[in-house]
Amino acid sequence: MQYVSIIKIKNDNEIEKAVEHAIKLIGGINKFIKKGEKVLIKPNVCSEKKFTTGITTHPKVIRAVVKQVLKAGAKPIVGESSIIGHSTMKSFEISGIKDALKGLKVKIIDLNTLKSRRVKIPNAIRKKEITVSEGAVKVDRIISIPVLKTHMKTLVSLSLKNMKGIEYGREKTNNHMAGLEETIVDLNKRFKPDLSIISGIIGHQGNGPTNGKPIKANLIIAGRDPVAVDTVGTILMGFNPKKVKHIKLAAEQGLGTNDIHKIKILGTSLNTAKTNFIKPISYRLPLGTKIKTLRNIIRKVLRKRMPEPYIAFDHDKCRLCLHCKKICPVKAIKLQNKKMKVDNKKCVLCLCCHEACPYNAIKVIHP
């Protein structure tokens, strides 16, 4: 049986107490962290956005976790590497995290400024070796603090997916191409967090991880098993964890359980905490629908003949920052006559550009 705690709060003043209580319910911080250990605290600070967007981990949650680690007598390091094109240190600043950690004995680092290390993955399913930041190798423990959010490619982005931030530089997009879900599982085989705490104070719904909308869910979810924690997080968002490929794969590979009957919920009940999130467009109609309207039946029949979804630019919103061009792993994007253009024949729909665009200027069109 795995234990996952859920704490629902009424306002932000309760965050620190809620984090402390969530950890206490699953055994207390000393169960996970020992005195003198070096601890990498890995939040989701993927882009240069304020925490109020729900794109980054809530600063007060990170502060509360750092205080817990300090209380255990360990040495906390808050480390992240943002999406290609975004400055990690700027992301820490704009999100409000840098300010929130003032006065605490903690280092804040851009994992991409450290050396890279090629590490072997035991019993890999897709990648036998992955290049990561040395910042994730030279520590004794890892605490993953993701946001409760949706993702255009993987449906949810929680503790397991959050570990992608330790991949070094281009390795992030390389692994998107190699099989995003499989490489998330491979990465967690070598770097499985010792403790996962989902920041569900302000979640992100719709076209996540960066182009959706914030949703105030007021939740903290914590546990030792990241698969169980992600399973609970997914249910709380109103989705079926058995249909989330990387969570299912992680369970099949023995990283934890995705069976809700083998997870004991502590604190707030699932029913009380449940907050239905809007699905990303890539998971909405017409693909995968079971609603038997005449329109959907016709669509299903015609699906094979229907054109594929494609990437398009909203030129009014585009500010020509070129982040999309830099991140595209197949060089399908170019700047032509002062406008961004995509070669849809080259595009492999990895959606990295959509994720990287700071101005919501990239759309995924479902014809």
Binding site for ligand SF4 (CB under 6 A): 311, 313, 318-324, 327-328, 330, 332-333, 340, 342, 347-353, 356-357, 359, 361-362
User: Which residue number, 96 or 169, has a Cβ lying nearer to ligand SF4?
Assistant: 169
User: Which residue number, 3 or 310, has a Cβ lying nearer to ligand SF4?
Assistant: 310
Give the nearest distance from C-beta 319 to ligand SF4 in angstroms.
Answer: 5
Instruction: Quote the CA–CA distance of 83 and 88 in Å, as a whole number.
Output: 8
Give the nearest distance from C-beta 170 to ligand SF4 in angstroms.
Answer: 13
Give the nearest distance from C-beta 312 to ligand SF4 in angstroms.
Answer: 10
At residue 181's C-alpha, the angle toward residues 282 and 363, to 5°, is 25
Give the nearest distance from C-beta 237 to ligand SF4 in angstroms.
Answer: 24
User: Which residue number, 266 or 357, has a Cβ lying nearer to ligand SF4?
Assistant: 357
Give the nearest distance from C-beta 91 to ligand SF4 in angstroms.
Answer: 15
- The answer to whether 136 touches 116, Cβ cutoff 8 Å, is no
User: Which residue number, 153 or 279, has a Cβ lying nearer to ligand SF4?
Assistant: 153
Residue type, 303: R
Residue type, 211: N
> What spatial distance separates the first Cα and last Cα of the chain, rounded to whole Å?
45
Give the nearest distance from C-beta 84 to ligand SF4 in angstroms.
Answer: 10
Q: What is the DSSP letter of 43?
A: E
- The answer to whether 333 touches 340, Cβ cutoff 8 Å, is yes
Pairing label, strands 333-336, 141-145: unpaired
User: Which residue number, 232 or 311, has a Cβ lying nearer to ligand SF4?
Assistant: 311
User: Which residue number, 237 or 353, has a Cβ lying nearer to ligand SF4?
Assistant: 353
- The answer to whether 196 touches 226, Cβ cutoff 8 Å, is yes
Give the nearest distance from C-beta 38 to ligand SF4 in angstroms.
Answer: 35
Give the SS3 label for residue 158.
coil
User: Which residue number, 153 or 224, has a Cβ lying nearer to ligand SF4?
Assistant: 153
**Residue 14 vs residues 21, 154, 269: alpha-carbon distances, Å:** 10, 31, 18
Other beta carbons within 10 angstroms of residue 209's beta carbon come to 27
- The answer to whether 22 touches 267, Cβ cutoff 8 Å, is yes
Q: Tokens 């993702």 — which residue?
A: 151
The token pair that represents 262 in the structure block: 């083998």
